[in-house]
Structure 1
């Protein structure tokens, strides 16, 4: 794991790459699991069968010139044959952090490790940032979703590119809370319907 700087000239190339075509069709989900005072995040990135090219770079929580994570991840997990780097350029309090994954490495891309159309790979990282922060809006720039990300066909700034947003998978506790809220709403509705109009008498009951 290393930090890298992205030069302004390269950023300009990144904005223009792949804008004229729509050869990449990708989707991704992210889930979180608490690990002591930190959180382990798992991202599954899928290159759709509708794509016409591979995915050789996955840049999470980033668009050219902007990094969105609140703090730097403490560790990163990469698929076999992929390398990772934490990006934070410019190095300023007004900029966050992001994670760049490359098939092979930035210096030596390996197209044989890229994600082919119809295939998926799993990426991961550990962070002190809570799911409410990672799944929410960034505290930097104009507060976009932290999950805003980029993919490139080959090495960074090479070939087709696509900006997209990773989809957050709710934590089990969040799902349970949502289910409880739905149940509570149903119970309240039944109680409102339990009285006949104008009579004040209950026509059914709910055991508590």
Structure 2
């Protein structure tokens, strides 16, 4: 029962998490993780919303043109079937971070579809979900998607959001009815 409630709550939050609305691409990105010894296995569910008019062929995580945001190089990156991955670090300077470029020419994410992208990192979730130590400290999850190959077609900058911790989510689900009741009482008193 707890798993169902948690899954339903996360599903309800998904349309709001990591969402970017602009032009022909309309996406959400949701980051989750599990411990793997001293490292962490991260999964990003990238959804091309049904309101998009273009498919996605490139997803560049923790990157905007000329800036990479991950603190350390991922130990590995696992793309979905039909996709490739490449860890980027250009220019190769200590003042630049790392990013992961995922791309395909055969299995684009059509409007209404999702794909799961994975990577393993020594960086803890607090680091990966925080702000980059590089540039002007943007959220590390700041990313780009392209309707074509990198730098081709329509593009969209957005931030991959993180799944709330189960404890925080449960507290929010418990507190929500109480907060709604309090707001209703205040409205009645004001009226």
TM-score tier by shorter-chain length is: 0.7 to 0.9
Provide the aligned C-alpha RMSD in A: 1.9
Q: Paired residues, what number?
A: 154
Whether the 8 Å contact between 1:72 and 1:97 is mirrored in structure 2 is yes
TM-score normalized with structure 2 length: 0.76
1:126 paired to 2:120: yes
Aligned to 2:38: 37
Partner of 2:26: 25
Question: What is the distance in 2 between the residues matched to 1:60 and 1:74?
Answer: 15
**Alignment deviations for residues 52-102 of structure 1 (CA, whole Å, 9 cap, x no partner):** 110000000000000000000001111001000000001001000000000
Summarize the Cα distance change of 1:123–1:62 in structure 2 as closer, same or farther, 3 Å threshold. Answer: same
My pick for the range that moved more, 83-92 or 163-172, is 163-172
Q: Distance in 2 between matches of 1:138 and 1:173?
A: 26
The answer to whether structure 1 residue 161 and structure 2 residue 155 are counterparts is yes
Q: Which runs of 5+ in 1 are unaligned?
A: 1-20, 104-109, 183-208
User: Which residue is equivalent to 1:57?
Assistant: 58
**Structure 1 CA distance for aligned equivalents of residues 76 and 66 of structure 2:** 23
Larger radius of gyration: 1
SS in 1 for 2:51: coil
> What is the TM-score with the length of structure 1 in the denominator?
0.70
Gaps of 5+ in 2: 1-21, 176-191
SS at match of 1:28: strand
* Secondary structure in structure 1 of the residue aligned to 2:72: coil
Q: Which runs of 4+ in 1 moved over 4 A?
A: 173-176
Q: Which secondary structure state, in structure 2, belongs to the residue aligned with residue 113 of structure 1?
A: coil
Structure 1 CA distance for aligned equivalents of residues 100 and 43 of structure 2: 13
